[in-house]
């Protein structure tokens, strides 16, 4: 619901604040007072394009701000789509700034948005009907929504959306699987050859490093043997030996005797004993290693051959040994998976068949429901339209299906374009005069006809419509008398379920107002100014008396005005 509208420096408006309420909000005023300027300003909030020609003379910019309460639930999805902060359950503030330098800006809850985003949000907030472009009834997508709302198709639409999503997902998965299968089939022999090579190689982690170490040892066996022999000279009992270990034993014995007199020598004894134990370990290890050391030319040749094979594999695959081991496992898994391609394909085909049948069933049910709703809505609209002085009007709802090679094939063999909204696109056709062929609504209906047709629609589908604020301009064009009473009655009826704002010259409509506002133009030394104010009960009586064509002060006009208000 639109609760507040603030306008600054727009056309003849210097500053204007209006607080609107629930029910029927009526705006009246003399011809040329500037009533429609207010709606032109509001249309900017709803995403219509603006030029600097709208800026008040002598000003550099204009601003329009609107506050909405209890906005409809579909806006939650719109905000999520554009990654906007969630809709506050109590209020939504939209602001539009237009500058002469072209730096125009749009804000939603203080966050900057594009004009396209603003228009999408506006489509869910207000239905504005009259001379303005923001008339949702003219949009085919909105016409389909109206038909579905009238036919209570919400549950069917949700079933179609789910079935469509499931079917599209399965078809997509099947397409990906077949693409991967085709690619893999082309490469299968190549993968198998690589896997066979790697299996023969039988690579092991750390193998290359161990072989390099063994190769180094075998390559230097003679030198190592000589070194070991020179070391043993310090430990054996031959005359050439230095007999280091026995010598350390003598030193330890002598130091022990000294420590008896000089206790601090005990530490030296311990160090000599540790050195002797270390030399004994060196002697044993060297002797054991030297005894086992043999030169095996065939083993060295075998190692060098293995290392050459490993190096070739690394160069061929441009991978480390660890990567080659992992690659072998990957190839093995790929080749194993290939055996499941056919099984998975058959599973997806079976699943797709089930989901196709489910989708076709729900699409057919939705189409049937729309066909039934179409007939009834056409009849109801014509009935109400005649009550609104559209006696010669003809109205038809066309359900159109489009064939497509890339669409959805029904059981009758015909392939149609399909979407989560179903098979049909909807178009409202209209003719206001007898003998004139029906044409799309946007091409033939005037502003007043559009307003009355929308009033007829809102009368018929008031409980199903989610847009809470309806604004009518030019709805009273060319009508009067009893028809004016009927229009007023219909507006009052719709205002029980929606907030309605109407600009009118008809006293019958003004008499039904929940809130009545008067627009006035004042002339000063500068540019004219447009102002708006809410009327008291007595002021309402005077304004309705004026609208009746009598003098405000005449007792008969005032009495008639009071009767109109009292009748409401």
Tens of pLDDT, residues 519-533: 988 877 777 888 899
pLDDT at 92 over 70: yes
Phi-psi category of residue 240: left, alpha or beta, with phi > 0 → left and psi -120 to 50 → alpha: alpha
- Whether 420 and 413 have beta carbons less than 8 Å apart is answered as no
Section 206-215 average pLDDT: 82
Phi, psi angles (nearest 5°) of residue 240: -75, -15
Q: Distance of CA 252 to CAs 108, 164, 236, Å?
A: 95, 96, 19
Per residue in 255-293, pLDDT (tens digit) is: 888 888 888 888 888 888 888 888 878 878 877 776 666
Collapsed DSSP state (helix, strand, coil) of residue 493: helix
Section 49-62 average pLDDT: 90
Longest dimension (CA), the chain: 153
Burial class (CB in 10 A: 0-12, 13-18, 19+), 384: buried
pLDDT at 378 over 80: yes
Collapsed DSSP state (helix, strand, coil) of residue 361: helix
pLDDT at 23 over 50: yes
pLDDT of res. 132? 47
Per residue in 332-350, pLDDT (tens digit) is: 887 777 767 778 888 999 9
If one compares 425 and 483, the residue with the highest pLDDT of the two is: 425
Buried b vs exposed e over 67-95: b needs ≥16 C-beta within 10 Å? bbbebbeebeebbeeeebeebeeeebebb
pLDDT at 186 over 80: no
The Cα–Cα gap between 241 and 426 comes to 112
Q: What is the DSSP string of 122-164?
A: HTTTEEEESSSS--GGGSHHHHHHHHHHHTT-HHHHHHHHHHH
Section 35-49 average pLDDT: 88
The Cα–Cα gap between 506 and 488 comes to 9
The Cα–Cα gap between 153 and 145 comes to 9
Question: Which segment of 105-119, 155-169, 233-247 scores lowest on mean pLDDT?
Answer: 233-247
Q: Which residue has the tokens 């016409």?
A: 143
- Whether 181 and 465 have beta carbons less than 8 Å apart is answered as no
The Cα–Cα gap between 322 and 330 comes to 12
If one compares 449 and 560, the residue with the highest pLDDT of the two is: 560
Confidence bin at 25 (pLDDT 50/70/90): very high
pLDDT at 26 over 50: yes
Question: How distant is the alpha carbon of residue 522 from its chain centre?
Answer: 49
Give Cβ neighbours of residue 105 (< 8 Å, ≥ 6 apart): 96, 97, 112
The Cα–Cα gap between 270 and 273 comes to 5
pLDDT at 133 over 50: no
pLDDT at 153 over 70: yes
- Whether 158 and 444 have beta carbons less than 8 Å apart is answered as no
Confidence bin at 244 (pLDDT 50/70/90): confident
Q: Hey, which bits of 11-53 come out as E strands?
A: 13-19, 24-28
Confidence bin at 553 (pLDDT 50/70/90): low
pLDDT at 134 over 50: no
The sign of the dihedral angle between the CA atoms of 348, 354, 360, 363 is negative
The Cα–Cα gap between 138 and 426 comes to 11
Average pLDDT across the chain, whole number? 84
pLDDT of res. 71? 72
- Whether 20 and 11 have beta carbons less than 8 Å apart is answered as no
If one compares 212 and 237, the residue with the highest pLDDT of the two is: 212
pLDDT at 373 over 80: yes
**Which range has the top average pLDDT, 59-63, 226-230, 465-469, 564-568?**
59-63
- Whether 547 and 506 have beta carbons less than 8 Å apart is answered as yes
Of all residues in the chain, the percent with pLDDT exceeding 90 is: 31
**Which range has the top average pLDDT, 16-25, 526-535, 559-568?**
16-25
pLDDT of res. 88? 60
pLDDT at 357 over 80: yes
Nearest to 324 by CA among 309, 335, 337, 336: 309
């Amino acid at each position: 619901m639109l609760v507040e509208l603030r306008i600054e420096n727009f056309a003849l408006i210097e500053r204007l604040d209006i607080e609107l309420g629930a029910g029927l909000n009526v705006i009246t005023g003399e011809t040329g007072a500037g009533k429609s300027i207010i709606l032109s300003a509001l249309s900017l909030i709803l995403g219509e394009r603006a030029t600097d020609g709208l800026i008040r003379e002598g000003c550099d910019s204009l601003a329009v701000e609107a506050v909405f309460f209890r906005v409809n639930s579909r806006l939650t999805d719109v905000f999520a789509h554009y990654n906007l902060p969630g809709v506050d359950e109590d209020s939504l503030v939209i602001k539009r700034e237009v500058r002469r330098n072209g730096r125009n800006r749009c804000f939603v809850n203080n966050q900057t948005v594009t004009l396209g985003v603003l228009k999408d949000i506006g489509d869910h907030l207000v239905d504005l009907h009259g001379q303005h472009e923001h008339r949702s009834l003219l949009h085919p997508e909105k016409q389909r929504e109206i038909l579905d709302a009238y036919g209570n198709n919400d549950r069917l639409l949700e079933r179609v959306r789910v079935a469509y999503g499931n079917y599209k997902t399965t078809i997509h998965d099947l397409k990906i699987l077949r693409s991967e299968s085709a690619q893999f089939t082309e490469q299968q022999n190549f993968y198998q050859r690589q896997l066979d090579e790697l299996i023969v190689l039988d690579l092991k982690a750390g193998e290359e490093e161990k072989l390099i170490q063994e190769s180094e040892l075998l390559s230097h066996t003679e030198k190592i043997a000589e070194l070991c022999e020179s070391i043993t000279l310090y430990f054996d009992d031959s005359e050439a030996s230095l007999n280091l270990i026995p010598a350390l034993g003598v030193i330890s014995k002598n130091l022990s005797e000294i420590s008896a007199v000089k206790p601090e020598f005990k530490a030296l004894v311990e160090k000599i004993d540790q050195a002797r134990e270390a030399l004994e370990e060196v002697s044993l290890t060297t002797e054991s290693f030297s005894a086992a050391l043999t030169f095996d030319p065939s083993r060295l040749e075998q190692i060098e051959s293995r290392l050459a094979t490993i190096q070739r594999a690394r160069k061929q695959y441009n991978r480390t040994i660890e990567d080659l081991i992992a690659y072998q496992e990957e190839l093995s898994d790929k080749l194993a998976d290939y055996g499941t391609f056919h099984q998975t394909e058959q599973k997806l085909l079976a699943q797709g068949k089930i989901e196709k049948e489910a989708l076709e069933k729900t699409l057919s049910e939705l189409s049937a429901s729309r066909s039934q709703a179409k007939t009834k809505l056409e009849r109801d609209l014509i009935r109400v339209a005649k009550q609104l002085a559209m006696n010669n009007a003809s109205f038809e709802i066309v359900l159109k299906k489009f064939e497509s090679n890339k669409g959805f094939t029904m059981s009758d063999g015909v392939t149609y374009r399909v979407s989560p909204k179903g098979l049909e696109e909807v178009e409202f056709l209209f003719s206001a005069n007898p003998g004139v062929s029906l044409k799309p609504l946007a091409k033939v209906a005037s502003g007043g006809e559009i307003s009355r047709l929308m009033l007829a629609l809102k009368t018929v589908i008031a409980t199903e419509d989610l847009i809470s604020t309806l604004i009518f301009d030019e709805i009273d064009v060319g009508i009067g008398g009893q028809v004016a009473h009927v229009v007023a009655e219909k507006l009052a009826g719709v205002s029980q379920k929606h907030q309605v704002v109407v600009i009118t010259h008809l006293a019958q409509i003004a008499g039904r107002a929940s809130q009545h506002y008067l627009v006035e133009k004042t002339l000063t030394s500068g540019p004219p100014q447009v102002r708006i104010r809410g009327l008291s009960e007595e002021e309402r009586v005077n304004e309705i008396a004026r609208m009746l064509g009598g003098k405000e002060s005449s007792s008969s006009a005032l009495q008639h005005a009071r009767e109109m208000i009292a009748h409401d």
